[in-house]
Each structure stands twice: as structure tokens, then as C-alpha cells.
Structure 1
Amino acid sequence: MGTLVLVAHGTRDPAGASTVDSITDAVRHRLRGVTVRVAYADVRAPDVTAVLREVPGPAVVVPMFLARGYHVRADVPAQLVAAGRSSGDTRLTDAIGTDRRLVAAAHDRLLAAGARPGDAVVFAAAGSSDEGALADVRLAAAGLAARTGADVRIAYAATATPKVADVVSELRARRQRVAVASWLLAPGQFQRVVAASGADLVADPLGAHPAVVDAVVSRYAGGHAPLALAGTHAHPCISR
């Protein structure tokens, strides 16, 4: 099926880059014999265009994003086109965030952080100006609510509202113990914002959780979408 190109957002945080490397290594282990390359949509190099210009033959591009915002809808497709790729030799899959298994990963991280029944749960996402991305977040939060039985509140580290710290402050004012589930892939600026929210506990990002690897492998194996240049009406998120 060709080279697998994993697309991450990119971060200046070395721990974030290391997390992407860990996911990539796990995917390589699962897909023995498949060439796996990493590209970045923003902040870091190489970008998707540069990687695809180096890849001979067919390629499957998998966006490792938890919501289908600007980068997934417009930026990454534009970089594919800039590389001179067509739908005949390159396939762009859906973002991994729509895979329901990732909600289980977020729940695992929350439990590992020490969450317990009765906690007020905040679902912390990066944020976006794209309504489609916000809809993806709402769907994932509903999945976590079903798993925990809690009234899960959505909050954002940037761009959208309400902000994580504001929701945490409101819940703590009610004398509730607050647990924050991180709907982020890797450490970086957004996770630092979440960690500084004042919650009683904050879960780690999803990282190289087995469910993340499963989602990537599943996207590679099937569910491909033809290459198309999406509209650019949404605004890009801020740099990490």
C-alpha cells in the first residue's frame, strides 16, 4: 500500500517531539516491512510537502490530529497538492481523533492520574475556530461521559471557550474535586496550560497509548479518502 506518512502538528517542546517518535516507533513495530515517515503540519520540519517529494511510489498520509480543524481540512491537503501528488498515488485518511478507541485511551490516562468516582471531570482539548473540530471534541467528550458516568465539562487550552482554568475554578468553587482528562496527543504548550489549571489532578496526553497506535494502523489499512484540497475559510490554530 506504499509508504505511511504520519502527520503531527509539531511542537517546540522536546518532550512532544519525543512522544511523536515513540508513536512512530510503535507503528513501525506493528507494520513491519512498511516504510514509516514523519511530517509536521506546523512549527517543525520537515513538512508534508518535503517528505512526499522524497517518497517514491504510493503513500498513505495519516493526520495524527484529535479533531478535524484547519490543518486536517485545509493545510495538510494543500501541502499534498504542493508536493505534486494526486489521488492516484497518494491517499489522505481521516484524522485519528474520530476513532472511538481514543476515548478509551483518554479514560485510561485519567484513571492512571488518580481519578475516582464522584470527581468533576473536565475534558481539555486544544481548541479551534473550526466548528467541525469542536463537534469532534463534543463527540469524544460524550464518549468519556458514557465511560465515567460523570457530567463531563468541555474546556479548551486555546482559541475556543470556555478555558480550562475558568471551568476548573468554577467547579472548585463548588467544593468539587476536579479531574482533567487531556484530549491532547503530546506534551507541549497546551498541556502546560492544562497542567496549570488548578485542578486536583491532570491526566497525561494520550501519547503512545496502544489505542493511538491501533488508530494509526487502522487508518493506514483502510478508510482512505481521495486527495482533495479543502477550503481555507477556517483560521489556523496558534503555534505550540
Structure 2
Amino acid sequence: MTDPTLVLVAHGTRSAVGVGTVARLAEMVSERVGPVRVAFVDVLGPTPSEVLSEVDGPAVLMPAFLASGYHVRVDIPEHVAQTGRSDVRVTHALGPDPAIAQVLLARLRAAGWRPGDDVVLAAAGSSDPDALADVRVAADHLEALVGTPVEIGYAATASPTVAEAVAAARGRGARRVVVAAYLLAPGLFHTRLSGAGADAVAEPLGADDALADLVAARFRADAEALTSRR
């Protein structure tokens, strides 16, 4: 029997650094589980259905998204349906997860966060209520680590904006406000955060070992479930 192939599915970006981050994460995961293919649902290709057309045997699609919005719940399953295949499994989205909160905390510390600072979790934004609920869960995970309430701000689509969330913290008397970037890779959204009025802005999650471990663990669990039903 052919072992399942992991396909890491990302949003897509015009940022070369962003594309490189996804490629590096895939490389790190491949060191843990074997060959990994990469697909994108927007901006650039190949698409998930195009990659699946080249994969012999079963496949596990891992959405490299930090919340389960439209792309995760609709786009990716539609790509699978287009192939007409029954040997493909789609995992849960990458986030939220407590392991990601640990990476966020590391990025905050590197940016100069100190205990007692107010924290704003900056997410990309979505019109999908399920995705917004996932961001709230991510904020709760981070809140448990920093020990103070974590507000949410969005770089696009949803409200409040990151700048509004930072201003609200200032209005409550916050001495320092640090933004945690709930973003996988550098790009337009992260660039916007520098103008939000915070004292410091953390780097995106990036291709981190903890994320690679998380993807690998999800893949192993879903690959086992996929092969056990054959």
C-alpha cells in the first residue's frame, strides 16, 4: 500500500518572503514525515486539485490557516470534490492551538514584551463568524500564557482594527501595548501593523519547529485514520 502524501495548503501571497516561509515550513515537516507537497487556494498556484492530480495514492490535506474560514470550510473541500477521489482526507486548520500560543509568546518576548504589558492579538480578519470565533480561542490561549487580557484587532475586513484595539488599550490606561502577530508569514498585513500605534510589534509565527511538529502530528493522526479504513 502507498503511504499517504501530505499536501500543505496555504492561502497564497505575492510576497516572496511569504512564499518562502511556506516552503521552509513544508521542508521542516518533510524532515519529520517524508515528502510534502504545497498548494495554494488564492493568488498563485498550484491549486489543491492540481496537486492532487499529480499524487498517486491517498493524500492528507493540511490547511495552513490560523482559523477555519471560507477557504478552509468551502474552497479546499471543493478542490477535493473536483478530483472525485475518496482517498483524500482534510485535517483541521493549523490554528488555533495551544502550541501556536507558545510561539506567539516567544515572538512577543523577542519584540520586548514584559509581564504587565497590554497585548493585542492582530489577525488577518474575516467575514466568517467561525473564523472570528477561532481567533477568540487563539486569544484565550495566549491570555493564559501572558496573564493579562488579550484584545483582538484585525488587519482587514473585521473590526475592531488593530489600531482601534491599541487605542482602546491606551484609553484604559495601558502604559505599554505590544502587538502579537497572529499571522503565518510576513506580507502586507504584517507591514500594516507598524502603523497601529503600539510600542512594539512581534514578528509573524514563521517556519517554527513547534509549527512543524504540530503539522507532523496532525498528519500522522489523519494518515492513520485514512489507511485504517482501507
Q: TM-score, normalised by structure 1?
A: 0.88
Residue 172 of structure 1 deviates from its aligned partner by 3.4
Residue 211 of structure 1 deviates from its aligned partner by 1.5
Q: Deviations over 1:104-158 (max 9, x none)?
A: 1111111111100121100111111111111111111011111001121111111
| Partner Cα separation in structure 1 for residue 151 and residue 20 of structure 2 | 30
**1:177 matched to 2:179:** no
Say whether the 8 Å CA contact 2:65–2:95 is kept in structure 1: yes
C-alpha distance 160-18 of structure 1, shift in aligned 2 (>3 A):
same
Aligned to 2:58: 58
| Partner Cα separation in structure 2 for residue 98 and residue 140 of structure 1 | 5
Say whether the 8 Å CA contact 2:66–2:96 is kept in structure 1: yes
Which one scores higher on RCO, CA 8 angstroms, separation ≥ 6?
Answer: 1
Say whether the 8 Å CA contact 2:21–2:185 is kept in structure 1: yes
Aligned to 2:41: 41
Structure 2 counterparts to residues 178-217 of structure 1, below 5 A: 178-217=177-216
Which residue identity is paired with 1:40? F
Residue 83 of structure 1 deviates from its aligned partner by 2.3
| Partner Cα separation in structure 1 for residue 136 and residue 169 of structure 2 | 19
Say whether the 8 Å CA contact 2:89–2:222 is kept in structure 1: no
Residue 168 of structure 1 deviates from its aligned partner by 1.5
Aligned to 1:10: 12
Aligned to 1:144: 142
Which residue identity is paired with 1:153? E
**1:133 matched to 2:131:** yes
Runs of 4+ aligned residues of structure 1 deviating over 3 Å after TM superposition are 172-175, 223-227
| Partner Cα separation in structure 1 for residue 29 and residue 19 of structure 2 | 15
Aligned to 1:29: 31
C-alpha distance 225-145 of structure 1, shift in aligned 2 (>3 A):
farther
Aligned to 1:107: 105
Aligned to 2:220: 221
Which residue identity is paired with 1:21? A
Aligned to 1:233: none
Which residue identity is paired with 2:187? G
Say whether the 8 Å CA contact 2:96–2:135 is kept in structure 1: no
| Partner Cα separation in structure 1 for residue 168 and residue 99 of structure 2 | 30
Helix, strand or coil at the partner of 2:205: coil
Q: TM-score, normalised by structure 2?
A: 0.92
Give me the CA root mean square deviation.
1.7
Helix, strand or coil at the partner of 2:175: coil
C-alpha distance 202-92 of structure 1, shift in aligned 2 (>3 A):
same
Residue 226 of structure 1 deviates from its aligned partner by 9.1
Which residue identity is paired with 1:38? V
Residue 225 of structure 1 deviates from its aligned partner by 11
Which residue identity is paired with 1:112? A
Residue 175 of structure 1 deviates from its aligned partner by 5.5
Say whether the 8 Å CA contact 2:118–2:174 is kept in structure 1: no
| Partner Cα separation in structure 2 for residue 181 and residue 111 of structure 1 | 10
Over the matched positions of the two proteins, sequence identity in percent amounts to 52
| Partner Cα separation in structure 2 for residue 63 and residue 135 of structure 1 | 17
Which residue identity is paired with 2:98? R
Structure 2 runs not aligned, ≥5 long? none
| Partner Cα separation in structure 2 for residue 192 and residue 155 of structure 1 | 14
Larger helix proportion of the pair: 2
